[in-house]
Amino acid sequence: MPDITQTAAWQALARHRRDTAGISIRDRFAAEPDRFARMHGQIHGLLADYSKNRIGEDTLSLLVSLAGTARLPQKMQALRRGEPVNASEGRPALHAALRLPPDAPPVCASGENVLPEIRRERERALDFADRLISGAYANADGLPFTDLVNIGIGGSDLGARMAAAALAPYHTRLRVHFAANADGAELSAALAGLDPRRTLFALASKSFTTPETLLNAHAARDWLRQGGVGENELPRHFAAVSAHAEAAAAFGIAAENRFAMPEGVGGRYSVWSPVGLPLMAAVGSEHFRAFLAGGHAMDEHFFTAPLRRNLPAILGLIGIWYNNFHGAQTHAVVPYTHLLRHLPAHLQQLDMESNGKSVTQSGETVACDTGSIFWGGEGVNSQHAFFQLLHQGTRLVPVDFIVPVNTPEAAQNRRFTAANAFAQAEALMLGKTDPVPHRRFEGNRPSNTLLIDRLDPFTLGLLTALYEHRTFVQAAVWDTNPFDQWGVQYGKTLAQTILSELETGENRPHDHSTAALIARFRQQDKSA
């Protein structure tokens, strides 16, 4: 694909940015009484309001033209058909296929229909989860397991952790915990108060070589032994999700407790697969299927709706407008419910691991900024933390407000949080005049508001898939690969080298800083 910044569509947007610099969002609302009606979209129980942005219909028209120049519609269909859109690894991206209903037509990768295999593994995992919940799968004493601890990191942790917390009102009797960090403190906290004989561990690692996961897995096995679980009983206390069955078997995972992760699904897109086992165990198969159905509903919208009415496409293109034409470097996500407290972290990995790329699909250096620094936190808490910068700071930070209408909280609490979300979005847009400079708010700060009728499994699926496709849209325009993560792998390789030095005492060539830090660590290491 040619350099997108040299196309007529890109240059038209650059001119448009200069021509509209003096038009505020306030001005647009004053001149456009139908602005909200034109600049929002709904799909099932999710409403996306993008009217509080520095855009007009002309802006959206130019952005859609840019998407056409970048061949976004063709790339969307290639993703849908199972073509090798992950060019650097020569494979498809099959996360949308994981959500397809039983009557869906085949999805062929390398000439083979991938649906039977990915469905078989998903159904096996769902059946296992249901047997855990019912007690049909029990410990050696015939007692049902009370707790499941998921051990994984990155995409093998964040998506399932986010979704399990979000769907807390739908939890079964089985308690689900998560441990990712390799320093041991998180695992210790997760295990506090648990009965080893009634605890099952789910190990999630695509390669089954992830050092952090294996470190915690060995610690979990030792904890079980110390808790009175015999060697012959240990296999009943473990399940594994991996693309490499042999490595899982070598750890001692029984064949019936091993579930395959599709090779064509990256970790950050994998919550729909058996990697979602802790979510399956938390909410049961019926609610997990509703989660899948919500994701599929967003897929159908994304793959069929015209770009101007396509919510993931519009939100992704608006993000490009700020990133590449306004110089915005970050994007804040603020959910106004404690249930979605882990959503910013999940989206942080989804977007930054996917779009943090400096070369195109063909390996050429990109000609523009790619990716945004995703961050955020819970509202109302965030209002008392970083909103000062959003309102009166010097940096432009687009914000996504996510507001569920119906949650388990008392009505007065729900109304209070919703009022605060709507007020913050309005205040960011309007600003405030005041003769005292310290009390003056510039306004013209953009935001989107995602209003969710009910935070249930289906709607959570809608929301999660919305952001996945938003990520893909931006990568398609930049001509980058959102499905690899070579930068992560390089750091891991260096870490293994340094770990060997710390354990053996040998010295290998390093820069002076790294060598000094290694020496200092050895000097102060009390376990040596």
CA distance 319 to 372: 9
Q: Is 276 exposed, middle or buried (0-12, 13-18, 19+ CB in 10 A)?
A: buried
Active site residue 409: no
Burial 32-42 (b: 16+ CB within 10 A, else e): eeebeeebbbe
Q: What is the token pair recorded at 469?
A: 């496709």
CA distance 396 to 379: 19
CA distance 317 to 308: 10
CA distance 151 to 212: 9
Catalytic one of 384, 438, 512, 526: 384
Active site residue 384: yes
Q: Tell me if 344 sits within 8 A of 335, measured CB to CB.
A: yes
CA distance 466 to 97: 15
Q: Tell me if 458 sits within 8 A of 287, measured CB to CB.
A: no
> DSSP 3-state assignment of 371?
coil
**157 secondary structure, DSSP code:** T
Catalytic one of 57, 112, 218, 492: 492
Query: Phi, psi (5° rounding) for residue 370?
Result: -125, 150
Q: What is the token pair recorded at 314?
A: 């519009």
Active site residue 492: yes
Catalytic one of 121, 212, 353, 378: 353
Catalytically active residues, by annotation: 353, 384, 492
